[in-house]
Chains A and B, each alone.
Chain A
Amino acid sequence: MQAPAQTSGSGLRLAIVLGLVALAAIVPILLPSWATLITLVAAKGVVVLGVIILLQAGQVSFGHAMYFAVGAYAVAFWGRHMGPGDLILYLLLGSAAATLFGAVIGLFVVRYREIFFGMLNLAFSMVLWSLLEKLYHYTNGADGIRVVRPTIAGIAFQPETFQYALLYVTLVIAVVASYVAQRYLDSPLGHMLRAIKSNETRLEYLGVSARRVLLIGYVLSAFLCGLGGALVAVAQQIATPEFGYWTKSGEFVFIAILGGSSSALGAFAGSAVFEIVRFYAAAKLANTWQLILGVVLIAIIMFAPNGLVGILNRNRRNAEARR
């Protein structure tokens, strides 16, 4: 999300984004099994946007799956105690719960940086995970809580049409969330957030409270994770403690770096590669998806430091250079 020095690329970028969204909307009509897959790609992309925001400040959270889980469980608890609800209500609930959690935990963690920031987030997330896993009476433990198919804006869908409706809602949310995240990062607060990464001392010497700036970024990131968590819970019709386990947090950081942590497009590119490899390798290659993804990640880090989006940009530059 570097502010592009050249504006000529932004038209092309918009065209690419619109093309991809159109593709994501049309492909599942031809390949119905892809509807849920693309929904998951877009929903997790929203979560990864949240992780990318913190990466802009140079902070790596190995605990952000907790907000993902909070979003999912907010939906699950509502379904369990209040009966079936509406998707809009679910999304509001999931993101509001995560935002609230993020604000409270954020007050503590924004005092720390780097490894300490990472550790404290991990610690909080593991406490949440333990509770989800062990408070069996409330959470069904490791089995998780089933999420019943909600109505969407009051309309009850059949399963076949519901997956499409959910897909389109998710795509719209992904586009809006990307735009909001991009605007935020281009705003004074977003630039101050990025300034924390390169020189927090100077920021304080400009009269800015770095903690406050980081807290706002942290809460926004928790909001996005909760929103994504609510969407995934609805798409997979379940919320389990695994949603908040540390490996899930690692997965989100993984996807951010895989795609390229400097752009919103990277979040979705990374998410697409991750989910598609998982989907196909799990089904066809005797459960070797983790192995494959691990190797892909190492290759990306070694040979393409700016992630998948970095490869795209490099090819474009090369093509322009040849002209």
Chain B
Amino acid sequence: MDSTIFILALLDGVSYAALVFLVSVGLSLIFSVLRIVNVAHGSLYAYGAYVAATLSLAVAPISPWLTFPALLVASVAVGVVVGGVMERFLLRPVYGREDVLQLLITFAVFMIMDNLQRLIWGVQPIFASTPLKLLPNVSVLGVSYTSYQVILLPAVALLTVLGLRYFLRHTLAGAVILAVTEDREAATAIGVDARRVFLVTFMIGASLAALGGALASPTTSLVPGMGADMIVLSFAVAATAGLGQIEGAAVTALMIGIARAFVIYLQPEFEVLVPYLIMVLVLLIRPMGLFGVDKVRKI
């Protein structure tokens, strides 16, 4: 393998990892607070992408630079509206019931969203690459690459890590979320409104998934099934890292992203296999994930 391909694979891996990280950290956050695996998380990613693309295509004729705020608006709108409705009206009524029911509610939402997506945006691929083309290419060790993918995406991912860290450890709202995560009953007993924490956390997690989708929209064609593929992929990253691990998810996303990129250059047919193979191997050895903490079973 010559050095150009090596660098190319590395850059592919980094930009891809940034996107997968955003989605999986949202999934992980929701799980650690609500103890729910959100199967519809990939659909939030897909909706983020489709809404962003629709908005971008609408505002691009006015000024192409408006497409950047459009990406952000799309992700927050999808996260708050869809995420909010999901938590408030579908999940809240089933808290306290069997876990499988909560899981299935999100599965039902996945089916509904998947179907609606096809009705709204059709099955033909959609392209909206304006933001990607606006930013110049950069040369990394002699390899030319879009700065959107190698600078903007990793920067957003890094900001998300730092932002979440700061939010959870240095703000009151973050402290409240952590308290509910640690011990729901105790937090409720000292007057924390767990229901609001759940709603806000779910909206944040959903917005992160939608942000991943919105940022991915300029780099890829939007097709049906992109949500279904993303949920398992982001789940693989979150589970391999250990559910609830923010920095761990970033490291794992990089690891899986780069491994996948190299496999694409070496043995393209095994591309989709890589994340799952890594997941199986890690979970067999450390079921709590690479960065997860082993919890003693209390009886």
Contacts and interface: CB of A to CB of B under 8 A. Distances in A.
Interface of A: 55, 60, 62, 108, 111-112, 114-116, 118-120, 122-124, 126-127, 130-131, 133-136, 201, 245-247, 250, 253-254, 257, 286-291, 293-295, 297-298, 301-302, 305
Contacts of A297: 104-105, 107-108, 111
A240 B163 CA distance: 44
Contacts of B90: 298
B109 interface: yes
Contacts of A131: 273
Given A250-B107, A294-B111, A127 B277 contact: yes
B289 to A, nearest CB: 9
Interface in B54-101: 90, 93-94, 97, 99-101
B115 A291 contact: yes
Contacts of B112: 290-291, 294-295
Nearest to B239: A119
B115 to A, nearest CB: 4
Given A112-B287, A201-B299, A298-B90, A124 B119 contact: no
Interface of B: 37, 39, 90, 93-94, 97, 99-101, 103-105, 107-112, 114-116, 118-119, 228, 231-232, 235-236, 239, 243, 269-273, 276-277, 279-280, 283-284, 287-288, 299
A289 B108 CA distance: 12
Contacts of B118: 287
Given A136-B269, A298-B90, A290 B284 contact: no
Given A115-B243, A130-B272, A294-B108, 12 more contacts: A119-B235, A120-B287, A126-B236, A126-B276, A257-B104, A286-B119, A290-B115, A291-B115, A295-B112, A301-B94, A302-B93, A305-B97
Contacts of B288: 116
A134 B94 CA distance: 39
B283 A123 contact: yes
Given A246-B232, A287-B118, A294-B112, A123 B276 contact: yes
B138 to A, nearest CB: 33
Contacts of A294: 108-112, 115
Nearest to A136: B269
B228 A134 contact: no
B256 to A, nearest CB: 13
